[in-house]
Structure 1
Amino acid sequence: MIQTGNLQLRSQHPVATTGGDASTFTRVEFPTPFPAGSDVIVHATTQTFDAPDTPGIRLHEVSETGFLIRFNELFGAGTKSNGLHGLETVGWTAYTV
C-alpha cells in the first residue's frame, strides 16, 4: 500500500533541540490508515523554494494512522538558524515494507 500527499508547512518556532518534544510539530493523518501492525515508512521533501534558508524536515511518531512533521532549519558553516521558516509546500509518500 502506498499513499501520497502534500501540505503547506512553515516554522514559527525556534529550532527543536530537545529530543522527544513534539509540541511544535504538525499532525498529518493518512487518507486511509495502514493495516494494524504495519511498519510504515514516510519520505518527505520540500517542493518549493519560497523562503531563503534551507529547511530541514523532522518526522516523529510515524504510525499506521499518520505522522508528525516540522521544519527545523539547518545549521551550517558555524551559522545557527533561528528556526523560523516561511511557508513551503512539502510532499510526502508513505508505504509499508
Structure 2
Amino acid sequence: MSMFQTGVLDLDSKSPLAEIGGDTSTFTRVTFPTPFPAGTTVIVIPAVQTFNGPQTPGLRIANVTKDGFLIRLNEVYATATAKSDGLHTTETVGWIATTV
C-alpha cells in the first residue's frame, strides 16, 4: 500500500549554480511530517508553484530518505553560451512524496 505526504516551502538561491555532483552544502533540508516506514523506497516530486523571477528555476533533489530530503533551486541554462549565475528570488515550491 502506497503512502503519500505533501508539503510546500519558500525557496530561493543566493549561491552560484550547484555543478559538482554530490555537493549538497547549499541545499535546504525538508523533514517529512511523519517518517515513512523503515525499508520503504521513497520518491519526491517537486514543482515550482510561482513565477517571481524572470529566469527559469530548476530544482535539484538529493538524499531522499524515509525522514526527508534535500532540495535546492538551481537555475537552468538559457543556452549553451548564456550560463545562469544561479541566483534566484524566492519561489514557492510544492512537493509530493510517496512510497513505491
Determine if the alignment matches structure 1 residue 94 to structure 2 residue 97: yes
Q: 1:37 offset after TM fit, Å? A: 1.0
CA distance in structure 1 between the aligned counterparts of 2:53 and 2:39, rounded to whole angstroms: 38
Q: Percent identity?
A: 60
Unaligned runs of 5+ in 2: none
* 1:18-37 to 2 correspondences below 5 Å: 18-37=20-39
Cα distance in 2 for residues equivalent to 1:80 and 1:68: 24
AA in 1 matched with 2:70: L
Partner of 2:77: 75
State the 1:67 CA deviation.
0.2
Letter in 2 for 1:2: F
Q: What is the aligned partner in structure 1 of residue 56 from structure 2?
A: 54
Q: Following the alignment from structure 2 to structure 1, what is the Cα–Cα distance between the partners of residues 39 and 85? A: 38
Q: What RMSD in Å do the two structures reach over aligned CA positions?
A: 0.5
Task: Please identify runs of 4+ aligned residues in structure 1 that moved more than 3 A.
Answer: none
Question: TM-score normalized by structure 1?
Answer: 0.98
Partner residue, 2:10: 8
Paired residues in the alignment total: 97
The normalised TM-score by structure 2 is 0.95
